[in-house]
């Protein structure tokens, strides 16, 4: 579809502004005010320009324009759906896996996604950033844990920090011998690509550690020329990039949308990394698909596009138990020899059924 130029200069934060720009119906205003009182709203000019106000099913609007459906919290939904708190030994740090920590520096974002898994922790009214003392304590924690090989800057969106502050943080982390990788999770290159300035890119590069950037985008239309240029500037500066997307009903829950998104990432030199199943964040049921539908989409994707374009479809297990790949599985046991030893398996007494990309089933090893 063509780009709609709404000629919006500033980030829209109030439901009344969304109505005034034709991005939400006036009749919905009272309900949207209630949503905005609970969950942050922000739509940057770049994102607003992508929304077709005449399309009630616009996949960009669905991600960023609040909806009265957010006022309904379903059973099982939780303020901390992936269990950050259970693994937070100290403010700002989540230490869920042995070799890496999340370092949550800021609690603000350029845009606020309606499905955000940290929607109870980010936005105006929450603490906007770690205090100086909390930052120093978090650094001390990382220094004291020599098993931490990778630090993932997340939040909020770390690229909301100034280049000067980011450079200080990167230098502090890179000065810790055992920290070899600094990964930055961000939506800024699509939400506000002008922030990816030469100063920002210089701040991301640091001696003593390798920087990776993980871009969050969910629909191919987010990868505008400006967004692609911002990513190219980072990649050409030597910063490798991976993608993260969330499987969202009405946004990318069909094979054509996913295929276009994954192909676009690869064309931009961004390796598709994760396709997240929607987390059980409050008021987000209308944006989640079923796991069965997600598996079917992954099956179709594997049949249609290059291996370079295949993300891992993952679920963050509620309670803080980490990510698990959720298939689909292509392998099942053909016989009931569950208890056969590895030695007997090697003698081909266990056979498997394996599904090819067309859906045809084969025996492995084949019968002699």
Binding site for ligand SF4 (CB under 6 A): 109, 112-113, 116, 118, 122, 155-157, 187, 216
Tokens 């009405």 label which residue?
250
Residue 150 structure tokens: 């990778």
Judge if the upstream peptide bond of residue 365 is cis by omega within 30 degrees of 0.
Answer: yes
Q: How far is the CB of 187 from ligand SF4 (least distance, A)?
A: 4
Catalytic annotation on 288?
no
Catalytic annotation on 109?
yes
Catalytic annotation on 118?
yes
Catalytic annotation on 97?
yes
Q: Is the CB of 275 or the CB of 350 nearer to ligand SF4? A: 275
Q: Is the CB of 176 or the CB of 251 nearer to ligand SF4? A: 251
Catalytic annotation on 195?
no
Q: Is the CB of 186 or the CB of 211 nearer to ligand SF4? A: 186
* Counts for the chain of helices (H) and strands (E), in that order: 12, 12
Q: Which of 62, 100, 114, 183 is catalytic?
A: 100
Q: Which of 34, 97, 271, 351 is catalytic?
A: 97
Catalytic annotation on 268?
no
Q: Is the CB of 183 or the CB of 187 nearer to ligand SF4? A: 187
With 0-12 CB in 10 A as exposed, 13-18 as middle and 19+ as buried, what is 238?
exposed
Q: How far is the CB of 122 from ligand SF4 (least distance, A)?
A: 5
Q: How far is the CB of 42 from ligand SF4 (least distance, A)?
A: 8
Q: How far is the CB of 59 from ligand SF4 (least distance, A)?
A: 15
Q: How far is the CB of 216 from ligand SF4 (least distance, A)?
A: 6
Strand partners, 152: 102, 183
- Among residues 31, 26, 53, the alpha carbon closest in space to that of 41 is found at 31
Please name the helix (run of DSSP H) or strand (run of DSSP E) that holds residue 291, with its range, or none: helix 291-304
Residue 343 structure tokens: 């030695």
- 32 CB neighbour count, 10 Å cutoff: 24
Catalytic annotation on 104?
no
Going 292 to 297 to 298 to 304, the CA torsion angle's sign is: positive
Catalytic annotation on 113?
yes
For residue 296, the 8-state DSSP code is H
Q: Is the CB of 116 or the CB of 247 nearer to ligand SF4? A: 116
Active site residues: 96-97, 100, 109, 113, 116, 118, 279, 316, 323
């Amino acid at each position: 579809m063509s780009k709609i130029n709404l000629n919006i200069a500033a980030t829209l934060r109030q439901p009344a502004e969304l109505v005034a720009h034709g991005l939400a119906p006036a009749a919905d205003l009272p309900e949207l005010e209630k949503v905005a009182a609970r969950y942050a709203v922000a739509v940057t000019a770049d994102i607003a320009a992508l929304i077709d106000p005449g399309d009630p099913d616009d996949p960009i609007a669905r991600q960023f324009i609040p909806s009265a459906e957010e006022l309904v919290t379903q059973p099982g939904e939780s303020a901390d759906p992936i269990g950050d708190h259970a693994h937070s030994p100290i403010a700002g740090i989540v230490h869920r896996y042995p070799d890496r920590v999340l370092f949550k520096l800021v609690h603000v974002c350029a845009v606020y996604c309606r499905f955000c898994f940290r929607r109870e922790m980010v936005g105006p009214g929450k603490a906007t950033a770690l205090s100086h003392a909390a930052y120093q304590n978090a650094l001390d924690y990382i220094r004291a844990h020599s098993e931490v090989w990778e630090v993932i800057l997340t939040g909020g969106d770390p690229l909301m920090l100034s280049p000067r502050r980011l450079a200080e943080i990167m230098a502090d982390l890179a000065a810790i011998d055992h920290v070899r990788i600094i990964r930055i999770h961000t939506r800024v290159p699509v939400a506000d690509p002008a922030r990816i300035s030469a100063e920002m890119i210089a701040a991301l590069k640091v001696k003593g550690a390798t920087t990776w950037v993980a871009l969050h985008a969910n629909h191919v239309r987010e990868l505008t020329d400006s967004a692609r240029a911002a990513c190219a500037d980072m990649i050409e500066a030597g910063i490798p990039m991976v993608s993260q997307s969330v499987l969202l009903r009405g946004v990318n829950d069909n094979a054509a949308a996913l295929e276009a998104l994954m192909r676009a990432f690869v064309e931009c030199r961004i390796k598709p990394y994760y396709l997240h199943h929607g987390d059980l964040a409050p008021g987000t049921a209308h944006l989640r698909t079923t796991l069965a539908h997600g598996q079917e989409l992954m099956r179709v994707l594997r049949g249609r596009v290059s291996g370079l374009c295949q993300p891992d479809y993952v679920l963050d297990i509620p309670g803080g138990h980490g990510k698990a790949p959720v298939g689909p599985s292509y392998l099942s046991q053909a016989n009931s020899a569950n208890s056969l030893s590895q030695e007997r398996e090697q003698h081909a007494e266990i056979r498997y059924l394996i599904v090819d990309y067309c859906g045809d089933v084969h025996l492995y090893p084949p019968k002699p």
